[in-house]
Amino acid sequence: MKYSGQQKEQIDQIVSFLVTNKPLTFEECIVWARLQFERDYNNDIRQLLFSLPKDAVTSTGQPFWSGPKRAPEPLVFNSNDVSPFIREIHVKTLIRLFDLKPTHLEYVIAAANLHAFNYGLRGDTNSALFRKVADSVIVPEFTPKSGVKVQISDNDPVPQNTSNAGKL
Q: Do the domain assignments include residue 59?
A: no
On the CB side of 25, CA atoms within 13 Å amount to 4
Q: Do the domain assignments include residue 124?
A: yes
How far is residue 168's CA from residue 157's CA, in Å, rounded to a whole number? 20
Say how many domains are in the chain.
1
Domain of 105, in residue numbers: 23-54+76-152
User: 102: left (phi > 0), else alpha (psi -120 to 50), else beta?
Assistant: beta
Per-residue model confidence as pLDDT tens digits over 17-45:
889 899 999 999 999 999 999 999 999 99
Q: Which pLDDT value is given to residue 150?
A: 79
Q: Do the domain assignments include residue 37?
A: yes
User: 66: left (phi > 0), else alpha (psi -120 to 50), else beta?
Assistant: beta
CATH code (residue 86): 1.10.10.2660
DSSP lists the bridge partners of residue 63 as: 57
Q: Do the domain assignments include residue 29?
A: yes
* Contact by Cβ (8 Å): 94, 100: yes
Q: Do the domain assignments include residue 66?
A: no
Q: Do the domain assignments include residue 16?
A: no
How far is residue 160's CA from residue 148's CA, in Å, rounded to a whole number? 9
Where helices occur in 99-162 by DSSP H, the ranges are 103-118, 127-136
Closest CA to 71 of 44, 47, 43, 52: 52
pLDDT greater at residue 90 or residue 44: 44
pLDDT greater at residue 62 or residue 165: 62
SS3 41: helix
Which of 37-41, 100-104, 164-168 is predicted least confidently? 164-168
Q: Which pLDDT value is given to residue 99?
A: 55
Q: Where does the pLDDT of residue 3 fall: very low under 50, low under 70, confident under 90, or very high at 90 and above?
A: low
Q: Do the domain assignments include residue 92?
A: yes
